[in-house]
Amino acid sequence: MKLMDIRDAVDPASFFETFYPRVYGFVAAATGAAHADVEDLVQETLLHAWRNRGQFLGGSSLLTWILAVARNRVRMRLRGSSREEDRLRARRALEAIDTELIPADVLETAELVRAVRTALEEIDAAYADLLVLRYFDGMSVRAIAEALGEGEKTVESRLHRAREAIRERLRRDERG
């Protein structure tokens, strides 16, 4: 949807249908929560985005804006628990992030999902969004570039900085 589409949209059902799968995947990966809890967060996210669609200024893609809403909802829901051990395990699992997608069996462990989620919450939101698109959603650099309206080299460069940011965040946790 373009800027005017979202502001002028009168059909919430098509809005929900369009964004539900991507938001569900993001929230499920970010929380490791049970299906019902993920459903609740996705509905909260999409309802908030729909109600506040007039605030979307077009500075990013609509999907990026909605995922930022989702990330904030997840943060509000999950704030406060200690994840030190999870962060250490996540660091080890993310060592190969340069060359491969995060394996599905690794993502199935709630501990690792929480550790990755925490690290993603604590780095720059734009970097976190890129890492989610690339490694959780499995989007190619080309597809990300097209979705964001950027060049592939720009996306590759930002992904490199995003990987460095998450590695540094995990290293800080490891050092205590």
Query: Does 20 share its domain with 72?
Result: yes
- Alpha carbon separation from 27 to 37, 98, 151, 154, 169 (Å, rounded): 9, 23, 27, 26, 21
Spans of the chain below 70 pLDDT: 1-10, 78-115, 173-176
Q: Are residues 106 and 34 in the same domain?
A: no
- Residues 93 and 120 both lie in one domain: yes
Q: What is the pLDDT of residue 82?
A: 40
> Are residues 75 and 87 both part of a single domain?
no
pTM above threshold 0.75: no
Q: Which pLDDT does position 42 carry in this prediction? A: 92
Could you tell me the residue range of the domain that residue 147 belongs to? 82-176
Return the pLDDT at 91.
Answer: 54
Give the CATH number, domain containing residue 54.
1.10.1740.10
pLDDT of residue 22: 92
- Examine the fold and report which residue of 79, 98, 116 is the final residue of a domain before the chain moves on: 79
Q: How many domains does the chain have?
A: 2
Q: Are residues 74 and 88 in the same domain?
A: no
Residues 138 and 158 grouped into a single domain: yes
Q: Which whole-number Å values give the CA distances from 55 to 9, 19, 22, in the listed order? A: 13, 17, 21
Whether residues 149 and 107 share a domain: the answer is yes
110 contact partners, CB below 8 Å, separation of at least 6: 32
Q: How far is residue 169's CA from residue 119's CA, in Å, rounded to a whole number?
A: 6
**Cβ(56)–Cβ(48) below 8 Å:** no
pLDDT of the residue at 21: 92
